[in-house]
Amino acid sequence: MPTSSTRFSVLCLVLVLGLSLAGFCQANDPEAAAAVASGAAGYGHVSPVDINQAQPNQLTVGSNVVFDATTGGVVGNTAGGQDGNGPNSAAGASRNNSPTIDGLDSVPTFDGAFLAQAGPSSTGTHLFRFSMMGNSPLVGGTTTIPAKIDEVSWKLLNGDGSVFKTVPFAPFEDLTLESPNFGHTTYGTGAHLQFADAIQRAEFFNTMKPNWHTTLDPNVVNSVTITVPRFVNVKLSDGTIVQARSYFTGTAADGSTFVLMLNLLFNNLFSNEVVNDINNGMFTTDSLNMTLFPNTYLFSLNVNNPNTPGGCCVLGFHTYFYEPGAIPQPRWITEYASWISPGLFGAGFQDVTGLSHETSESFNDPFLDNAAPTWQFPGQPANSKVCQANLETGDPVEVLSTATVPIPVKEGRRIFTYHPQTEALLQWFEMGKTSNAIDGAFSYPDETALPHSAVPCPQ
């Protein structure tokens, strides 16, 4: 989806994908149950974020703060601070991890291009150029990129300011770090691979040097607890200021609390926390920076009834933060992803589905500007114009009923089965009759998920 020109506003926060609640035990808020049951699991699309527009030391929202319902910006003042631990020692030694685009200070990237093979874009001379994370598959070698992780927990307040509940990330830390996103598993593209590396190798399997890899070196650099008020003020388009619920909670089948949070508030807290991490040297331009949350999903404002959730539920997004006017321009590639308890969503969405989706998309479209011929979402009627025009590799598959793949990982005596999301390969976006990816596939690891390339969007 195209990105907005407004400061860090999530576009189309709910894309109706047909993925619904599979079942859970009970909900603290009846509205949370209804929102998840009637909503759709999806992902947000956000604009790059100017670091000068954040308030990194202001993570507690006061009663005098007003959010603009249209732009997502803050009207008024904020006050407060944060609870949490300081940074841990940074890790992430890497090889060949240096900027490769003149004028940018960011992760290494390699460039390529393709010509559309079907649809309106195939009749002209327009090349679709792209930049992807890592170094060139034609050159080979391993590029190691630090994965800087900020684990966020919530302190949820009642209306009178007392603490309603604390929702920690800690129970999911080990499982996240041991997941296929960071751990090593055997795929058809090679042995001892991380998930995003396996996807990239599938795309370039027949042209890459056999020793080509792009790997992540994870390190938890911060752990913070953010306080969330029960209500926030929102200015509507007609100038009216209303009080809106900022969060709702429920209980998943495994007993974990899930949190539905108003996107306007989350966007503000997220951007402030990321810039705080940047200013303290915890998030760096040569890293893939991750803010990870416990069972946290976003909903949009219900203008007609601000005390119930609007459209739901966003599980993650990726973007980058930048400093305008600085040369070379620093860009901090950043993503938000949530741990997902089982039973909340259909299509196998659970555990690290969101993290795998956003990490693979960060690899394939790190600067949010990789365009593609306008493609139609799979499963749509022939005349449907539910379409996109970008190289967001997770989006075409997230609408499918079998979007994820089970990957068992053994840690000690324990086997945990993870559910990362299958990704569309570069070749799917080319709209060709054949694919030069591994096995002639258009998706991976489940090569049957997308049996043919993209269908051009109807004119």
Nearest by Cα to 60 from 77, 75, 41, 39: 77
Cα separation of 293 and 262, whole Å?
15
- pLDDT at residue 176, rounded to an integer: 97
Cα separation of 79 and 398, whole Å?
39
pTM for the model stands at 0.86
- Answer whether residue 266 is part of any domain: yes
- pLDDT at residue 56, rounded to an integer: 72
Residue-range definition of the domain harbouring residue 189: 30-456
Specify the number of domains making up the chain.
1
- Answer whether residue 19 is part of any domain: no
- Answer whether residue 7 is part of any domain: no
For the segment 333-373, what is each residue's pLDDT rounded down to a tens digit?
A: 999 999 999 999 988 999 999 999 999 999 999 999 999 99
For the segment 189-199, what is each residue's pLDDT rounded down to a tens digit?
A: 999 999 999 99
- Answer whether residue 297 is part of any domain: yes
- pLDDT at residue 11, rounded to an integer: 31
Whether cis (ω within 30° of 0) applies to the bond prior to 12 is: no
Nearest by Cα to 314 from 59, 31, 39: 39
Q: Please report how the helices 353-364 and 195-203 are oriented relative to each other, as an axis angle in degrees rounded to 10.
A: 40
For the segment 305-333, what is each residue's pLDDT rounded down to a tens digit?
A: 999 999 999 999 999 999 999 999 999 99
Beta bridge partners of 299: 262, 312
- Answer whether residue 171 is part of any domain: yes
Q: What b/e sequence results for 67-77 when a residue is b if at least 16 CB atoms lie within 10 Å of its CB, and e otherwise?
A: bbbebbbbeee
Q: What b/e sequence results for 145-172 when a residue is b if at least 16 CB atoms lie within 10 Å of its CB, and e otherwise?
A: bbbbbbbbbbbbbeeeeeebeebbbeeb
- Answer whether residue 338 is part of any domain: yes
- Answer whether residue 134 is part of any domain: yes
- Answer whether residue 10 is part of any domain: no
- pLDDT at residue 79, rounded to an integer: 36
- pLDDT at residue 49, rounded to an integer: 86
- pLDDT at residue 58, rounded to an integer: 63
Residues with Cβ within 8 Å of residue 61, at least 6 apart in sequence: 78, 80, 228, 229, 232, 246, 265, 268, 269
Cα atoms found within 13 Å of the Cα of residue 113, Cβ hemisphere only: 6
- pLDDT at residue 31, rounded to an integer: 73
SS3 395: helix
Q: What stretches in the chain show pLDDT beneath 70?
A: 1-28, 33-35, 37-39, 57-60, 62-63, 75-96
